[in-house]
Amino acid sequence: MTAFEALRGILPDSAEVLPSGHLAVGGCDLVDLVQQHGTPLYVYDEATILARARAYRDGLRAAYPGDSLVCYASKAYSARWLLQLLAAEGLGLDVVSGGELHVARSAGFPMERTYFHGNNKGEDELAEAVSAGISRVVIDNLEEVERLNRICGGLDRVQPVLLRLTPGVEPHTHEYIRTGAVDTKFGMAIQTGAAEEAVRRIQAAPNLALVGYHAHIGSQIFDLEPFQESARRVMQFAADMLARQGVKPREISPGGGFGMRYTPADDPRTPGDVVGALAEAVLDAAETLLPGEPLPRMTIEPGRSLVATAGVALYTVGSIKHIHGVRTYVAVDGGMADNIRPATYGAEYSSLLANRAGEAPATTVTIAGKYCESGDILVREAHLPAPRVGDVVALPASGAYNLAMASHYNMALKPAVVAIRDGQARLVRRRDTYDDLLRAEV
């Protein structure tokens, strides 16, 4: 079996091996793109993004009879070309900073479909969001209640808000991407009474309108039961607040964090399975806990699972180091500056050679980055044809968080990005220049 055959479902939907043996995406030869744009290079397949977006959007509409909205969690990767693509599909947007809000506004993304998350939003960020007419601010803490109310008062606005809840659900994922347990920096805990206190404070704030509740339990979660349990607990809290505080729940968000494939061992659920399970949990809870009440609007927030599979990172092999009896290091011209995830929390990736994609793996090597850290390892156990200097290494499933978390470590130049649509490749982000490294200095 070739590496390409082993990685179906991890590569973009349109990936294929050309008669030349080169890997292609959307009809475009990736080796040709490397020759045009150099490496590291990130390539995105728009058709794969659209397929995932439509699967979530249409699946949720089919599974949930109430109003619904799929919001892209833009912290996974924020770029104008991407946000414009998703806006045209009717998706909403989740931003977590003034910078992401700025990109969204620059892209012309509708503010009436934009939500502002975050555990410590600055006063300037909140003022910008409210002034822009953002749809929802998702309140995370008690200080934010006072801050946002004061800002809205100064702008003569009443801002619809959601309250972020900590439901006390423990998903099975890495500790750095778990956010639903009581011990977390995000949200207000239901169990401790903090969430109800936040409801009282919001209700007393004349410039805030509490319209519902949000929860997010973590990321890269494959089991559907934690999502369902979180949705049930949020709905129970909504019913309790209706009874005790008179707050009618107009909107419920079970969040995002749905798992996707990085390696053949990963076994994610389809978008249809995810939205079906979440809709079922909310509908059952609404029937039991909120009889006679209108169904709340339901929003979900896929990020990684919407864009990761669409992206492929490409690198050029620069050196090969055989340590007899230990391992072989294959060094490429990228690494932790454009993909910090393996070094940060042991994220695993698959790999193949884009210029020899039709060949079967013949050896196991370690793909190492070029940066001055021993932990700069992209793939610990890479099964490849025997690599040669000049080969083009492709890492599929690189569309989420790689570029969003990229840095200038070692004064690295951030890579170029190419998007492919209908067989045509276009440069959507040029590679940094050395002058870019000095642009902000004074």
Residue 130: which CATH number? 3.20.20.10
**Does residue 253 sit in the same domain as residue 286?**
yes
**218 and 184 co-located in one domain:** yes
Helix, strand, or coil (residue 335): coil
Are 271 and 375 found together in one domain?
Answer: no
Q: For residue 53, tell me if it sits in a domain.
A: no
**H or E element that contains 365:** strand 363-368
126 in a structural domain: yes
Note if the bond before 291 is cis, omega within 30 degrees: no
In a domain, 232, yes or no: yes
Same domain, 428 and 282: no
Q: Are residues 312 and 232 in the same domain?
A: no
Do 151 and 125 form a contact (C-beta atoms < 8 A)? no
User: What residues in the chain have per-residue pLDDT under 50?
Assistant: 173-180
Task: Take residue 133 and report the two structure tokens written for it.
Answer: 């007419």
Residues 272 and 346 in one domain: no
pLDDT in the model for residue 178: 42
Task: Verify that 152 and 240 share a domain, yes or no.
Answer: yes
Which run of H or of E encompasses 323?
Answer: strand 311-323
Q: Is 111 exposed, middle or buried (0-12, 13-18, 19+ CB in 10 A)?
A: middle
The pLDDT score that the predictor gives to residue 169 is 81
Say whether both 147 and 286 belong to one domain.
Answer: yes
Non-local CB neighbours of 78 within 8 Å, separated by 6+ positions? 95, 99, 100, 103, 104, 404
Compute the distance between CA of residue 163 and CA of residue 252 in angstroms, rounded to an integer: 10
pLDDT of residue 3: 87
Domain contains 370: yes
Mean pLDDT of the chain: 95
Both 408 and 283 in one domain: the answer is: no
Could you give the C-alpha distances from 302 to 39, 169, 215, 219, 345, in angstroms and in order? 29, 19, 13, 10, 21
**Which one-letter amino acid corresponds to residue 280?**
E
Alpha carbons 312 and 341: distance in angstroms, whole number: 15
What is the C-alpha separation between 146 and 208, in angstroms, rounded?
A: 10
* Cα separation of the two ends of the chain: 55
Q: Kindly state whether residue 407 falls inside one of the protein's structural domains.
A: yes
318 near 332, Cβ under 8 Å? Answer: yes
Do 37 and 131 lie in one domain? The reply is no
DSSP assignment letter at 440 = T
Q: Hey, what are 322's tokens? A: 């055989």
The total of other beta-carbon atoms located within 10 Å of residue 266's CB is: 16
Residue 156, sorted as left (phi over 0), alpha (psi -120 to 50) or beta, turns out to be: left
Do 278 and 333 sit in the same domain of this protein? Answer: no
CA-based nearest residue to 152, from 164, 163, 141, 137:
137
**Domain for residue 432, yes or no?**
yes
Question: Are 407 and 331 spatial neighbours (Cβ–Cβ below 8 Å)?
Answer: no
Which distant-in-sequence residues (6+ apart) come within 8 Å of 341 by Cβ?
347, 401, 402, 405
Query: In what order do the strands lie in the sheet containing 28-29?
Result: 16-17, 23-25, 28-29
> Residue 228 carries which side chain, given as an amino acid letter?
Q
Distances in whole angstroms, Cα of residue 180 to Cα of each of 204, 218, 238, 395: 27, 6, 17, 30
Q: Where are the beta strands (DSSP E) in 4-50?
A: 16-17, 23-25, 28-29, 41-45
Given 302, 318, 353, the domain boundary residue is: 302
**Do residues 316 and 335 touch, judged by C-beta distance below 8 A?**
no
Q: How many domains does the chain have?
A: 2
Which of 273, 302, 331 marks a domain boundary? 302
- DSSP for 96-117? -SHHHHHHHHHTT--GGGEEE-
Residues labelled catalytic:
372
The reply to whether 277 falls in a domain is: yes
State both tokens at 11.
């590569």
DSSP string over 122-169: -HHHHHHHHHHT-SEEEE-SHHHHHHHHHHHHHTT--EEEEEEEE---
**Chosen domain end from 302, 322, 345:** 302
Whether residue 32 lies inside any domain: the answer is yes
Burial of 132 (0-12, 13-18, 19+ CB in 10 A): middle
CA atoms of 220 and 263, how far apart (whole Å):
13
Question: Residue 397: which CATH number?
Answer: 2.40.37.10
- Domain residues for the domain of 15 are 3-45+308-438
Residues 232 and 180 in one domain: yes
Q: Are 130 and 157 in contact (CB under 8 A)?
A: yes
DSSP helix/strand/coil, 435: helix
